[in-house]
Amino acid sequence: MSADVRTALLVNFLFWPGLAIGAVVFAALLELTEAAWALPLRPIAQRFRRFLPIALAIYAIAFAAARTFRWRDAAVLAIAYGVAFWFGRTAERTEQRPGIRVRAAIALLVVYPIAFSIIAVDLVMSLEPAWVSTLFPAYVFTANVYAGIAAVAVAAAIDLPDERIARDLGSVLLGFALIWIYFVWTQFLVIWYGNLPADTSFITARIADGWRSVAFVVLAMRGVLPALALLTRTGRRPIPLAMVGATIVAGFWIECWLLVGPALPGRVTSPAAVAVTAGFALVFATSRARPPGAARGDWWLARFVRGS
């Protein structure tokens, strides 16, 4: 396997499955908080789970071919994806008691940060063996949820263009934008204050040469522009919110590239790497497509309409 393909594989594996499970975790948060305003959003978020079994198969096959397969990572991914899929199926079944849905949501919110802390260490931090950070795993699994909410915002603008829901979802997205900025600043502050070569090397590699422009693009697309846009009323309307969400999602892909690109020799702009990215995007879009007939998750929307 070429270096370009290997780099593109890792970038896209961090991005697409991270996006999918982040959306499902968002649905679990809505379940536990009993967010009535977001009832129609839950089936939209839960549909992202359909990509997770495919992601596990991709890890088993592609990472084995790249000789970077780890049984520990396969195990934690299988557990996290399995619990996420279980929660999504449980939440869509009208005959399930609310207590079962709550237990499934709690299980996901316990398993997810543990599993993706291990993934953050093994897939990203291991690329820089001299660098150690106790904050970075939390940064990674929070970034997934942030991107997942943004993807839900894009999908909701298409499936459910509602002004009231868009306004409230924009507020949630603004909160996560500020949390993401906080994590970035906190990580930078600790590294700068410590001033240790083993710590600073990770940052300097990502703001040196051509990577400096990429870093500023990520900061703008994931933090500054969404925060500024969502502070306005216009930014929380369905179409502008979808544009903000798309910007955040695109910034997430560039962020994944920034995290692994400086440590790997491959290029994500080569034809082979672009083909890998296009393949991931096609499989992801196909997995989220609604099958013929009404989806079970529409019961949430029906219940919301009856109660309004």
- C-alpha to C-alpha distance for 203 and 130, rounded to whole angstroms: 13
78 pLDDT more than 50: yes
241 pLDDT more than 60: yes
Mean pLDDT for the stretch of residues 3-12? 92
pLDDT at 302: 37
Token pair, residue 149, equals 């909410």
- C-alpha to C-alpha distance for 143 and 140, rounded to whole angstroms: 5
Determine contact, residues 41/152, Cβ cutoff 8 Å. yes
pLDDT at 300: 35
- C-alpha to C-alpha distance for 265 and 272, rounded to whole angstroms: 14
pLDDT tier, 295 (very low <50, low <70, confident <90, very high otherwise): very low
pLDDT digits (tens, 9 = 90+) for 143-178: 999 999 999 999 988 877 778 888 999 999 999 999
- C-alpha to C-alpha distance for 11 and 301, rounded to whole angstroms: 35
**260 closest CA partner among 224, 226, 214:** 214
Determine contact, residues 7/273, Cβ cutoff 8 Å. yes
82 pLDDT more than 50: yes
Q: What is the sign of the dihedral through the CA atoms of 55, 61, 66 and 71?
A: positive
pLDDT at 230: 93
pLDDT at 129: 84
Mean pLDDT for the stretch of residues 4-18? 94
Mean pLDDT for the stretch of residues 227-235? 92
pLDDT at 289: 61
286 pLDDT more than 60: yes
99 pLDDT more than 90: no
pLDDT tier, 96 (very low <50, low <70, confident <90, very high otherwise): low
Name the residue with higher pLDDT: 38 or 118.
Answer: 118
Phi, psi torsion values for 33, nearest 5 degrees: -85, -5
pLDDT at 203: 82
**44 closest CA partner among 143, 154, 147:** 154
Mean pLDDT for the stretch of residues 292-299? 39
Q: List, in order, residues 6 or more apart from 200 with CB less than 8 Å away.
A: 191, 192, 194
95 pLDDT more than 80: no
- C-alpha to C-alpha distance for 271 and 19, rounded to whole angstroms: 24
Which residue type sits at 271? Answer: P
Mean pLDDT for the stretch of residues 112-122? 95
Token pair, residue 169, equals 């979802």
pLDDT digits (tens, 9 = 90+) for 15-56: 999 999 999 999 999 999 888 888 888 889 999 999 999 999
- C-alpha to C-alpha distance for 272 and 205, rounded to whole angstroms: 25
- C-alpha to C-alpha distance for 184 and 176, rounded to whole angstroms: 12
pLDDT at 36: 86
Q: What is the sign of the dihedral through the CA atoms of 52, 58, 63 and 66?
A: negative
Query: What single string gives the DSSP state of each residue in 208-261?
Result: STTHHHHHHHHHIIIIIHHHHHHTSSGGGSHHHHHHHHHHHHHHHHHHHHHHHG
Q: What percent of the chain has pLDDT over 70?
A: 92
Mean pLDDT for the stretch of residues 94-121? 86
CATH numbers and ranges of domains, the chain:
3-286 (1.20.1630)
Token pair, residue 262, equals 């400086």
